[in-house]
Amino acid sequence: MNDEVAVGQQLEREREVLARVPRGLLIGGQWRPATGGRTFPVHDPATEEVIAEVADGHEDDALAALDASVGAQAGWAETAPRRRGEVLRRAYELMTERVDDLALLMTMEMGKPLAESKAEVAYAADFFRWFGEEAVRISGDYKVSTSGANRVLVMRQPVGPSLLITPWNFPAAMVARKVGPAVAAGCTMVLKPPQLTPLSSLAMAGILEEAGLPPGALNVVTTSRASAVSGPLLADSRLRKVSFTGSTEVGSMLMAGAAAHVLRVSLELGGNAPFLVFADADLDAAVEGALTAKMRNTGEACTAANRFYVHASLAQEFSERLARAMAAMKLGRGTEPGVRVGPLVDEAQRAKVTSLVEDAVERGARVLCGARAPRSRGWFYEPTVLAAVPEGAQLAGEEIFGPVAPVFSFEDDEEAVRLANGTRYGLVAYAYTRDLGRALRVCEALEVGMVGLNRGLVSDPAAPFGGAKASGIGREGGSVGIDEYLEVKYVSIDKTW
Ligand code: NAD
Protein backbone atom coordinates (compact mmCIF):
# COMPACT_ATOMS: atom_id res chain seq x y z
CA MET A 1 0.00 0.00 0.00
CA ASN A 2 1.49 3.37 -0.89
CA ASP A 3 1.65 6.22 1.64
CA GLU A 4 -1.13 8.23 0.07
CA VAL A 5 -3.59 5.32 0.25
CA ALA A 6 -2.61 4.62 3.88
CA VAL A 7 -3.12 8.26 4.83
CA GLY A 8 -6.50 8.29 3.06
CA GLN A 9 -7.62 5.16 4.93
CA GLN A 10 -6.49 6.57 8.25
CA LEU A 11 -8.42 9.81 7.66
CA GLU A 12 -11.52 7.84 6.66
CA ARG A 13 -11.31 5.77 9.84
CA GLU A 14 -10.88 8.91 11.98
CA ARG A 15 -13.96 10.45 10.33
CA GLU A 16 -15.99 7.28 11.00
CA VAL A 17 -14.95 7.12 14.65
CA LEU A 18 -15.76 10.80 15.18
CA ALA A 19 -19.11 10.45 13.40
CA ARG A 20 -20.26 7.79 15.87
CA VAL A 21 -19.80 10.01 18.96
CA PRO A 22 -22.94 11.76 20.25
CA ARG A 23 -22.46 15.55 20.32
CA GLY A 24 -25.42 16.68 22.40
CA LEU A 25 -26.28 16.85 26.09
CA LEU A 26 -27.67 13.69 27.66
CA ILE A 27 -30.60 14.64 29.88
CA GLY A 28 -33.22 12.21 31.14
CA GLY A 29 -32.30 9.64 28.50
CA GLN A 30 -32.55 12.10 25.58
CA TRP A 31 -29.64 13.44 23.56
CA ARG A 32 -30.41 17.06 22.80
CA PRO A 33 -28.77 20.32 21.76
CA ALA A 34 -27.88 22.95 24.34
CA THR A 35 -30.58 25.54 25.02
CA GLY A 36 -30.03 28.21 22.36
CA GLY A 37 -28.18 25.70 20.15
CA ARG A 38 -24.67 26.88 21.04
CA THR A 39 -21.64 24.64 20.48
CA PHE A 40 -17.90 24.80 21.21
CA PRO A 41 -14.98 23.34 19.24
CA VAL A 42 -12.72 20.40 20.16
CA HIS A 43 -9.17 20.43 18.75
CA ASP A 44 -6.63 17.77 17.83
CA PRO A 45 -3.54 18.99 19.72
CA ALA A 46 -1.22 17.36 17.18
CA THR A 47 -2.62 19.32 14.23
CA GLU A 48 -4.39 22.22 16.02
CA GLU A 49 -7.41 21.46 13.77
CA VAL A 50 -11.02 21.47 14.98
CA ILE A 51 -12.26 17.87 14.95
CA ALA A 52 -15.74 18.30 16.44
CA GLU A 53 -18.32 20.78 17.69
CA VAL A 54 -20.01 19.82 20.95
CA ALA A 55 -23.15 21.18 22.68
CA ASP A 56 -22.30 24.14 24.92
CA GLY A 57 -24.61 23.68 27.91
CA HIS A 58 -25.47 26.44 30.36
CA GLU A 59 -27.44 27.11 33.56
CA ASP A 60 -30.86 25.88 32.33
CA ASP A 61 -29.35 22.71 30.91
CA ALA A 62 -27.54 22.05 34.18
CA LEU A 63 -30.76 22.40 36.15
CA ALA A 64 -32.65 20.19 33.67
CA ALA A 65 -29.94 17.57 34.18
CA LEU A 66 -30.33 17.82 37.95
CA ASP A 67 -34.15 17.52 37.61
CA ALA A 68 -33.62 14.30 35.63
CA SER A 69 -31.11 13.03 38.15
CA VAL A 70 -33.40 13.76 41.11
CA GLY A 71 -36.34 12.16 39.26
CA ALA A 72 -34.40 8.94 38.66
CA GLN A 73 -32.80 8.69 42.13
CA ALA A 74 -35.42 6.68 44.07
CA GLY A 75 -35.93 4.11 41.31
CA TRP A 76 -32.21 3.69 40.74
CA ALA A 77 -31.48 3.26 44.46
CA GLU A 78 -34.12 0.51 44.59
CA THR A 79 -32.74 -1.30 41.55
CA ALA A 80 -31.25 -4.63 42.56
CA PRO A 81 -27.51 -4.44 43.23
CA ARG A 82 -27.02 -7.40 40.89
CA ARG A 83 -28.71 -5.44 38.10
CA ARG A 84 -26.56 -2.36 38.76
CA GLY A 85 -23.48 -4.57 38.70
CA GLU A 86 -24.56 -6.14 35.41
CA VAL A 87 -24.89 -2.73 33.75
CA LEU A 88 -21.28 -2.02 34.72
CA ARG A 89 -20.12 -5.45 33.60
CA ARG A 90 -21.78 -4.94 30.20
CA ALA A 91 -20.20 -1.46 29.90
CA TYR A 92 -16.81 -3.08 30.63
CA GLU A 93 -17.40 -5.62 27.85
CA LEU A 94 -18.50 -2.99 25.34
CA MET A 95 -15.48 -0.80 26.09
CA THR A 96 -13.20 -3.81 25.72
CA GLU A 97 -14.77 -4.75 22.36
CA ARG A 98 -14.40 -1.16 21.13
CA VAL A 99 -10.98 -0.43 22.56
CA ASP A 100 -9.48 0.47 19.17
CA ASP A 101 -12.12 3.07 18.32
CA LEU A 102 -12.17 4.55 21.81
CA ALA A 103 -8.38 4.77 21.85
CA LEU A 104 -8.28 6.50 18.48
CA LEU A 105 -10.90 8.98 19.67
CA MET A 106 -8.85 9.70 22.80
CA THR A 107 -5.65 10.20 20.83
CA MET A 108 -7.43 12.59 18.48
CA GLU A 109 -8.84 14.79 21.24
CA MET A 110 -6.02 14.58 23.78
CA GLY A 111 -2.84 13.69 21.87
CA LYS A 112 -1.41 10.73 23.81
CA PRO A 113 0.12 7.91 21.71
CA LEU A 114 -2.33 5.20 20.64
CA ALA A 115 -0.71 2.52 22.81
CA GLU A 116 -1.24 4.72 25.88
CA SER A 117 -4.82 5.48 24.87
CA LYS A 118 -5.51 1.75 24.59
CA ALA A 119 -3.99 1.20 28.00
CA GLU A 120 -6.19 3.95 29.42
CA VAL A 121 -9.36 2.54 27.83
CA ALA A 122 -8.52 -0.86 29.35
CA TYR A 123 -7.83 0.79 32.73
CA ALA A 124 -11.10 2.74 32.56
CA ALA A 125 -13.09 -0.35 31.59
CA ASP A 126 -11.52 -2.18 34.52
CA PHE A 127 -13.10 0.31 36.92
CA PHE A 128 -16.51 -0.65 35.51
CA ARG A 129 -15.63 -4.33 36.02
CA TRP A 130 -14.29 -3.72 39.54
CA PHE A 131 -17.30 -1.69 40.69
CA GLY A 132 -19.67 -4.11 38.95
CA GLU A 133 -18.26 -6.67 41.38
CA GLU A 134 -18.46 -4.27 44.34
CA ALA A 135 -22.15 -3.44 43.70
CA VAL A 136 -23.26 -6.73 45.27
CA ARG A 137 -20.95 -6.42 48.31
CA ILE A 138 -22.34 -3.32 50.03
CA SER A 139 -22.46 -4.47 53.62
CA GLY A 140 -24.00 -3.32 56.89
CA ASP A 141 -23.55 -4.29 60.51
CA TYR A 142 -25.59 -5.61 63.41
CA LYS A 143 -24.29 -5.69 66.95
CA VAL A 144 -25.14 -5.62 70.60
CA SER A 145 -24.88 -2.21 72.29
CA THR A 146 -22.30 -1.82 75.04
CA SER A 147 -25.02 -2.03 77.74
CA GLY A 148 -26.49 -5.13 76.17
CA ALA A 149 -29.92 -3.51 76.31
CA ASN A 150 -30.14 -2.39 72.67
CA ARG A 151 -29.15 -3.47 69.22
CA VAL A 152 -27.10 -1.43 66.73
CA LEU A 153 -28.11 -1.81 63.09
CA VAL A 154 -25.89 -0.07 60.52
CA MET A 155 -26.91 0.33 56.89
CA ARG A 156 -25.18 2.05 53.96
CA GLN A 157 -27.38 3.82 51.45
CA PRO A 158 -26.72 5.86 48.28
CA VAL A 159 -25.77 9.47 49.00
CA GLY A 160 -28.04 10.71 46.20
CA PRO A 161 -27.69 12.91 43.13
CA SER A 162 -24.01 13.60 42.52
CA LEU A 163 -22.14 16.12 40.40
CA LEU A 164 -19.05 14.57 38.78
CA ILE A 165 -16.43 16.88 37.25
CA THR A 166 -13.47 15.37 35.38
CA PRO A 167 -10.19 16.66 33.86
CA TRP A 168 -8.81 16.39 30.31
CA ASN A 169 -5.62 14.42 30.99
CA PHE A 170 -7.27 11.00 31.44
CA PRO A 171 -10.47 11.51 29.45
CA ALA A 172 -11.87 7.98 30.07
CA ALA A 173 -10.32 6.72 33.32
CA MET A 174 -11.35 9.71 35.43
CA VAL A 175 -14.97 9.27 34.24
CA ALA A 176 -15.01 5.54 35.00
CA ARG A 177 -13.41 6.03 38.44
CA LYS A 178 -16.40 8.20 39.43
CA VAL A 179 -19.29 6.78 37.39
CA GLY A 180 -18.36 3.18 38.32
CA PRO A 181 -18.78 3.57 42.11
CA ALA A 182 -21.76 5.93 41.75
CA VAL A 183 -23.62 3.38 39.61
CA ALA A 184 -22.65 0.54 41.96
CA ALA A 185 -23.85 2.48 45.02
CA GLY A 186 -27.16 3.50 43.40
CA CYS A 187 -26.49 7.24 42.97
CA THR A 188 -27.72 9.21 39.97
CA MET A 189 -25.33 11.64 38.33
CA VAL A 190 -24.72 14.84 36.43
CA LEU A 191 -21.38 14.49 34.65
CA LYS A 192 -19.54 17.66 33.56
CA PRO A 193 -16.77 16.51 31.19
CA PRO A 194 -13.65 18.60 30.49
CA GLN A 195 -13.97 21.26 27.81
CA LEU A 196 -10.75 20.17 26.04
CA THR A 197 -11.59 16.44 25.79
CA PRO A 198 -15.36 15.84 26.03
CA LEU A 199 -15.60 13.20 23.28
CA SER A 200 -14.45 10.19 25.35
CA SER A 201 -17.03 11.05 28.05
CA LEU A 202 -19.78 11.30 25.44
CA ALA A 203 -18.79 7.97 23.87
CA MET A 204 -18.77 6.32 27.32
CA ALA A 205 -22.19 7.76 28.15
CA GLY A 206 -23.49 6.15 24.94
CA ILE A 207 -21.95 2.85 26.01
CA LEU A 208 -23.51 3.03 29.48
CA GLU A 209 -26.93 3.67 27.89
CA GLU A 210 -26.41 0.69 25.62
CA ALA A 211 -25.38 -1.37 28.64
CA GLY A 212 -28.78 -0.72 30.21
CA LEU A 213 -28.34 2.30 32.47
CA PRO A 214 -31.88 3.71 32.79
CA PRO A 215 -32.80 7.23 31.62
CA GLY A 216 -31.85 9.94 34.11
CA ALA A 217 -29.32 7.85 36.04
CA LEU A 218 -26.46 9.47 34.13
CA ASN A 219 -26.88 12.96 32.68
CA VAL A 220 -24.08 14.66 30.78
CA VAL A 221 -23.68 18.40 30.32
CA THR A 222 -20.72 19.52 28.21
CA THR A 223 -19.90 23.21 28.41
CA SER A 224 -17.26 25.82 27.69
CA ARG A 225 -18.22 27.63 30.93
CA ALA A 226 -17.74 25.15 33.75
CA SER A 227 -19.10 27.46 36.46
CA ALA A 228 -22.37 27.80 34.51
CA VAL A 229 -22.95 24.13 35.36
CA SER A 230 -21.37 23.89 38.80
CA GLY A 231 -22.76 27.20 40.12
CA PRO A 232 -26.51 26.49 39.90
CA LEU A 233 -26.07 22.88 40.95
CA LEU A 234 -24.06 23.68 44.09
CA ALA A 235 -26.72 26.26 44.96
CA ASP A 236 -29.51 23.66 44.71
CA SER A 237 -30.15 21.70 47.89
CA ARG A 238 -31.29 18.63 45.93
CA LEU A 239 -27.69 17.93 44.95
CA ARG A 240 -26.04 15.77 47.64
CA LYS A 241 -22.47 15.30 46.50
CA VAL A 242 -19.70 16.69 44.36
CA SER A 243 -16.80 14.58 43.17
CA PHE A 244 -14.06 16.50 41.40
CA THR A 245 -10.76 15.63 39.75
CA GLY A 246 -8.63 18.54 38.59
CA SER A 247 -6.47 21.34 39.87
CA THR A 248 -6.16 22.24 43.55
CA GLU A 249 -7.29 25.82 42.79
CA VAL A 250 -10.61 24.78 41.25
CA GLY A 251 -11.05 21.97 43.80
CA SER A 252 -10.79 24.32 46.74
CA MET A 253 -13.25 26.74 45.10
CA LEU A 254 -15.75 23.91 44.62
CA MET A 255 -15.23 22.82 48.21
CA ALA A 256 -16.12 26.33 49.36
CA GLY A 257 -19.22 26.21 47.12
CA ALA A 258 -20.17 22.80 48.50
CA ALA A 259 -20.20 24.24 52.02
CA ALA A 260 -23.51 26.09 51.41
CA HIS A 261 -25.53 22.85 51.47
CA VAL A 262 -22.90 20.80 53.33
CA LEU A 263 -22.35 18.41 50.43
CA ARG A 264 -20.26 15.29 50.58
CA VAL A 265 -17.04 16.05 48.67
CA SER A 266 -14.42 13.88 47.04
CA LEU A 267 -11.45 15.77 45.64
CA GLU A 268 -8.62 14.33 43.54
CA LEU A 269 -6.34 17.31 43.03
CA GLY A 270 -2.90 18.32 41.84
CA GLY A 271 0.41 16.65 42.67
CA ASN A 272 4.11 17.42 42.82
CA ALA A 273 5.51 13.90 43.07
CA PRO A 274 9.05 13.37 44.34
CA PHE A 275 11.04 10.45 42.88
CA LEU A 276 13.72 9.33 45.33
CA VAL A 277 16.73 7.26 44.29
CA PHE A 278 18.78 6.11 47.28
CA ALA A 279 22.45 5.11 47.10
CA ASP A 280 21.59 1.38 47.27
CA ALA A 281 18.97 1.53 44.48
CA ASP A 282 18.96 -0.77 41.48
CA LEU A 283 19.85 1.90 38.92
CA ASP A 284 18.47 0.03 35.88
CA ALA A 285 15.12 -0.31 37.63
CA ALA A 286 15.22 3.33 38.78
CA VAL A 287 15.83 4.66 35.26
CA GLU A 288 13.06 2.46 33.85
CA GLY A 289 10.67 3.50 36.63
CA ALA A 290 11.61 7.15 36.09
CA LEU A 291 10.68 6.87 32.42
CA THR A 292 7.26 5.49 33.32
CA ALA A 293 6.63 7.92 36.17
CA LYS A 294 7.73 10.90 34.06
CA MET A 295 6.70 10.10 30.50
CA ARG A 296 3.33 8.37 30.90
CA ASN A 297 0.81 10.72 29.31
CA THR A 298 3.69 12.95 28.10
CA GLY A 299 4.09 14.04 31.73
CA GLU A 300 0.52 15.36 31.88
CA ALA A 301 -0.47 13.24 34.88
CA CYS A 302 -1.22 14.18 38.48
CA THR A 303 1.02 11.23 39.39
CA ALA A 304 3.89 12.37 37.13
CA ALA A 305 7.28 12.46 38.84
CA ASN A 306 7.90 16.19 39.14
CA ARG A 307 11.15 16.30 41.14
CA PHE A 308 13.92 13.69 40.95
CA TYR A 309 15.99 13.54 44.14
CA VAL A 310 18.98 11.30 43.58
CA HIS A 311 21.74 10.43 46.05
CA ALA A 312 24.83 12.50 45.19
CA SER A 313 26.84 9.34 44.41
CA LEU A 314 24.41 8.40 41.60
CA ALA A 315 23.05 11.74 40.41
CA GLN A 316 25.29 12.18 37.38
CA GLU A 317 24.94 8.63 36.07
CA PHE A 318 21.17 8.61 36.67
CA SER A 319 20.71 11.96 34.87
CA GLU A 320 22.79 10.91 31.88
CA ARG A 321 21.04 7.56 31.50
CA LEU A 322 17.61 9.13 31.85
CA ALA A 323 18.54 11.80 29.28
CA ARG A 324 19.70 9.15 26.78
CA ALA A 325 16.46 7.21 27.19
CA MET A 326 14.23 10.28 26.97
CA ALA A 327 16.03 11.77 23.98
CA ALA A 328 15.49 8.49 22.11
CA MET A 329 11.69 8.65 22.44
CA LYS A 330 9.98 9.41 19.14
CA LEU A 331 7.82 12.52 19.11
CA GLY A 332 4.79 12.88 16.84
CA ARG A 333 1.05 12.56 16.35
CA GLY A 334 -0.08 9.69 18.54
CA THR A 335 -1.52 7.79 15.58
CA GLU A 336 1.87 7.50 13.83
CA PRO A 337 3.76 4.20 14.26
CA GLY A 338 6.47 4.15 16.91
CA VAL A 339 5.49 7.48 18.47
CA ARG A 340 6.02 7.50 22.24
CA VAL A 341 5.59 11.21 22.98
CA GLY A 342 2.50 13.11 21.85
CA PRO A 343 1.81 16.83 21.90
CA LEU A 344 0.81 18.73 25.02
CA VAL A 345 -2.89 19.40 25.25
CA ASP A 346 -2.92 23.04 24.19
CA GLU A 347 -0.83 26.15 23.61
CA ALA A 348 -1.31 27.37 27.19
CA GLN A 349 0.10 24.13 28.59
CA ARG A 350 3.12 24.31 26.30
CA ALA A 351 3.73 27.96 27.20
CA LYS A 352 3.68 27.02 30.90
CA VAL A 353 6.19 24.19 30.41
CA THR A 354 8.44 26.44 28.32
CA SER A 355 8.48 29.14 30.95
CA LEU A 356 9.22 26.70 33.82
CA VAL A 357 12.20 25.30 31.89
CA GLU A 358 13.47 28.80 31.03
CA ASP A 359 13.26 29.80 34.68
CA ALA A 360 15.28 26.73 35.80
CA VAL A 361 17.92 27.33 33.13
CA GLU A 362 18.22 31.02 34.05
CA ARG A 363 18.88 29.92 37.64
CA GLY A 364 21.71 27.64 36.53
CA ALA A 365 20.19 24.24 35.61
CA ARG A 366 22.04 22.34 32.87
CA VAL A 367 20.07 21.03 29.85
CA LEU A 368 20.98 17.38 29.14
CA CYS A 369 18.37 16.97 26.40
CA GLY A 370 15.34 18.73 24.93
CA ALA A 371 14.18 22.13 26.20
CA ARG A 372 12.71 22.94 22.80
CA ALA A 373 9.32 23.12 21.08
CA PRO A 374 10.27 21.39 17.84
CA ARG A 375 7.38 21.55 15.38
CA SER A 376 5.65 24.50 13.80
CA ARG A 377 2.25 22.75 13.94
CA GLY A 378 0.94 20.94 17.00
CA TRP A 379 1.64 21.69 20.65
CA PHE A 380 4.78 19.58 20.98
CA TYR A 381 7.60 19.90 23.52
CA GLU A 382 10.72 17.73 23.47
CA PRO A 383 11.49 15.33 26.34
CA THR A 384 13.80 17.32 28.59
CA VAL A 385 16.23 16.43 31.38
CA LEU A 386 17.67 19.20 33.53
CA ALA A 387 20.65 18.47 35.80
CA ALA A 388 21.95 20.37 38.82
CA VAL A 389 18.65 22.18 39.28
CA PRO A 390 18.78 24.71 42.14
CA GLU A 391 16.18 24.26 44.88
CA GLY A 392 14.58 27.67 44.28
CA ALA A 393 13.56 26.86 40.68
CA GLN A 394 9.83 27.38 40.07
CA LEU A 395 9.37 23.85 38.76
CA ALA A 396 10.29 22.43 42.15
CA GLY A 397 7.20 24.09 43.61
CA GLU A 398 4.53 23.47 40.99
CA GLU A 399 3.20 20.80 38.66
CA ILE A 400 5.15 20.85 35.40
CA PHE A 401 2.57 18.78 33.50
CA GLY A 402 4.98 18.11 30.66
CA PRO A 403 7.90 15.87 29.61
CA VAL A 404 10.48 17.60 31.80
CA ALA A 405 12.61 15.82 34.41
CA PRO A 406 14.54 18.09 36.80
CA VAL A 407 17.22 16.24 38.77
CA PHE A 408 18.34 17.43 42.22
CA SER A 409 20.76 15.62 44.52
CA PHE A 410 20.76 14.82 48.25
CA GLU A 411 23.30 13.58 50.80
CA ASP A 412 21.33 11.56 53.37
CA ASP A 413 17.90 10.01 53.98
CA GLU A 414 16.75 12.77 56.29
CA GLU A 415 17.46 15.41 53.66
CA ALA A 416 15.72 13.31 50.96
CA VAL A 417 12.52 13.03 53.02
CA ARG A 418 12.62 16.70 54.00
CA LEU A 419 12.94 17.75 50.35
CA ALA A 420 10.23 15.30 49.25
CA ASN A 421 7.79 16.63 51.86
CA GLY A 422 8.64 20.27 51.19
CA THR A 423 5.52 20.93 49.12
CA ARG A 424 1.87 21.69 49.81
CA TYR A 425 0.95 18.65 47.67
CA GLY A 426 0.82 15.05 48.86
CA LEU A 427 -0.52 12.79 46.13
CA VAL A 428 2.19 10.24 45.39
CA ALA A 429 5.92 9.64 45.86
CA TYR A 430 8.28 7.10 44.31
CA ALA A 431 11.21 5.55 46.18
CA TYR A 432 13.97 3.26 44.95
CA THR A 433 15.98 1.33 47.51
CA ARG A 434 16.88 -2.33 48.17
CA ASP A 435 17.06 -1.91 51.94
CA LEU A 436 13.80 -3.03 53.56
CA GLY A 437 14.33 -1.02 56.74
CA ARG A 438 15.02 2.17 54.79
CA ALA A 439 12.04 1.47 52.51
CA LEU A 440 9.65 1.20 55.46
CA ARG A 441 11.08 4.24 57.27
CA VAL A 442 10.79 6.35 54.12
CA CYS A 443 7.26 5.12 53.24
CA GLU A 444 6.08 6.02 56.76
CA ALA A 445 7.72 9.46 56.66
CA LEU A 446 6.42 10.57 53.26
CA GLU A 447 3.38 12.86 53.52
CA VAL A 448 1.44 11.38 50.59
CA GLY A 449 -1.57 9.20 49.85
CA MET A 450 0.38 6.71 47.71
CA VAL A 451 3.95 5.44 47.33
CA GLY A 452 5.46 3.58 44.39
CA LEU A 453 8.17 1.46 46.03
CA ASN A 454 10.62 0.36 43.35
CA ARG A 455 7.76 1.01 40.88
CA GLY A 456 7.01 3.97 38.64
CA LEU A 457 3.26 3.36 38.42
CA VAL A 458 0.66 3.14 41.20
CA SER A 459 -2.66 3.21 39.32
CA ASP A 460 -4.74 0.07 39.92
CA PRO A 461 -8.54 -0.37 40.15
CA ALA A 462 -8.01 -2.58 43.23
CA ALA A 463 -6.09 0.16 45.10
CA PRO A 464 -7.34 3.25 46.95
CA PHE A 465 -6.18 6.17 44.80
CA GLY A 466 -5.98 9.62 46.37
CA GLY A 467 -3.91 12.24 48.08
CA ALA A 468 -3.03 13.94 51.35
CA LYS A 469 -2.52 17.68 52.04
CA ALA A 470 -3.55 19.91 49.09
CA SER A 471 -3.82 16.86 46.81
CA GLY A 472 -7.30 16.01 47.95
CA ILE A 473 -9.88 14.34 50.13
CA GLY A 474 -11.22 10.82 49.71
CA ARG A 475 -10.15 7.80 47.71
CA GLU A 476 -11.21 6.37 44.36
CA GLY A 477 -10.99 2.67 43.51
CA GLY A 478 -10.18 -0.22 45.82
CA SER A 479 -12.64 -1.51 48.35
CA VAL A 480 -13.12 1.98 49.82
CA GLY A 481 -13.97 3.70 46.50
CA ILE A 482 -17.66 2.93 46.79
CA ASP A 483 -17.85 4.46 50.31
CA GLU A 484 -17.55 7.93 48.76
CA TYR A 485 -21.09 7.37 47.37
CA LEU A 486 -22.66 5.78 50.44
CA GLU A 487 -24.16 7.37 53.52
CA VAL A 488 -23.99 5.43 56.79
CA LYS A 489 -27.27 5.22 58.69
CA TYR A 490 -27.50 3.72 62.14
CA VAL A 491 -30.69 2.44 63.71
CA SER A 492 -30.79 2.03 67.48
CA ILE A 493 -33.16 -0.82 68.33
CA ASP A 494 -34.75 -1.07 71.73
CA LYS A 495 -34.63 -4.66 72.89
CA THR A 496 -38.02 -5.24 74.35
CA TRP A 497 -38.72 -8.58 72.77
P1 NAD B 1 -8.94 22.05 36.03
O2 NAD B 1 -9.06 22.20 37.49
O3 NAD B 1 -8.66 23.26 35.21
O4 NAD B 1 -10.26 21.43 35.42
C5 NAD B 1 -10.80 20.19 35.86
C6 NAD B 1 -12.27 20.18 35.55
O7 NAD B 1 -12.90 21.21 36.29
C8 NAD B 1 -12.61 20.45 34.07
O9 NAD B 1 -13.76 19.70 33.73
C10 NAD B 1 -12.93 21.93 34.07
O11 NAD B 1 -13.79 22.29 33.02
C12 NAD B 1 -13.63 22.05 35.42
N13 NAD B 1 -13.65 23.39 35.97
C14 NAD B 1 -12.77 24.41 35.80
N15 NAD B 1 -13.19 25.51 36.47
C16 NAD B 1 -14.35 25.17 37.09
C17 NAD B 1 -15.27 25.86 37.93
N18 NAD B 1 -15.08 27.13 38.27
N19 NAD B 1 -16.35 25.19 38.36
C20 NAD B 1 -16.55 23.91 38.03
N21 NAD B 1 -15.73 23.20 37.24
C22 NAD B 1 -14.63 23.81 36.79
O23 NAD B 1 -7.86 20.92 35.78
P24 NAD B 1 -7.36 20.32 34.41
O25 NAD B 1 -6.39 21.29 33.80
O26 NAD B 1 -8.51 19.85 33.57
O27 NAD B 1 -6.62 19.00 34.89
C28 NAD B 1 -5.33 19.01 35.35
C29 NAD B 1 -5.30 18.98 36.85
O30 NAD B 1 -6.01 17.84 37.32
C31 NAD B 1 -3.90 18.84 37.40
O32 NAD B 1 -3.73 19.68 38.50
C33 NAD B 1 -3.84 17.38 37.82
O34 NAD B 1 -2.90 17.11 38.81
C35 NAD B 1 -5.22 17.14 38.28
N36 NAD B 1 -5.54 15.71 38.26
C37 NAD B 1 -5.65 15.07 39.46
C38 NAD B 1 -5.91 13.71 39.49
C39 NAD B 1 -6.01 12.98 40.80
O40 NAD B 1 -6.55 11.89 40.80
N41 NAD B 1 -5.52 13.52 41.89
C42 NAD B 1 -6.10 13.01 38.30
C43 NAD B 1 -5.98 13.70 37.10
C44 NAD B 1 -5.72 15.06 37.10
What pLDDT does residue 433 have?
98
Give the integer Cα–Cα distance in Å for 327 and 323: 6
What pLDDT does residue 2 have?
77
What pLDDT does residue 3 have?
80
| Protein residue with its CA nearest to atom 39 in ligand 1 | 268
pLDDT in tens, 88-111: 999 999 999 999 999 999 999 999
Residue 246 CA to ligand 1 centre (angstroms): 2
Give the integer Cα–Cα distance in Å for 54 and 222: 7
CATH entry, 3-269+473-489, from 3.40.605.10, 2.60.40.10, 3.40.50.720, 3.30.70.1350: 3.40.605.10
Give the integer Cα–Cα distance in Å for 151 and 143: 6
Ligand 1 binding pocket includes 302 (Cβ within 6 Å): yes
> 264 pairs with which residues across the strands?
241
From the candidates 268, 300, 382, 399, which is the catalytic residue? 268
- Considering the chain, tell me which residue range(s) the CATH 3.40.309.10 domain(s) occupy: 273-466
**Is pTM beyond 0.95 here?**
yes
| Mutate which of 250, 269, 398, 476 for ligand 1 pocket (most atoms within 8 A of beta carbon) | 250
- Considering the chain, tell me which residue range(s) the CATH 3.40.605.10 domain(s) occupy: 3-269+473-489
Give the integer Cα–Cα distance in Å for 63 and 78: 24
What pLDDT does residue 391 have?
84
From the candidates 302, 369, 382, 399, which is the catalytic residue? 302
Mark the ranges of the chain whose per-residue pLDDT is less than 50. none
Ligand 1 binding pocket includes 459 (Cβ within 6 Å): no
**Closest residue by Cα to residue 329 from 373, 382, 372, 365:** 382
Amino acid at 184: A
Atom of ligand 1 nearest to the CA of 167: 26
What pLDDT does residue 1 have?
64
Cα 494 off chain centre by? 46
| Mutate which of 169, 243, 344 for ligand 1 pocket (most atoms within 8 A of beta carbon) | 169
Mean pLDDT of the chain, nearest integer: 97
Fold topology of 273-466: Aldehyde Dehydrogenase; Chain A, domain 2 (3.40.309)
Residue 270 CA to ligand 1 centre (angstroms): 8
Listed in order, strand segments (DSSP E) in 61-185 are 141-144, 150-158, 162-165
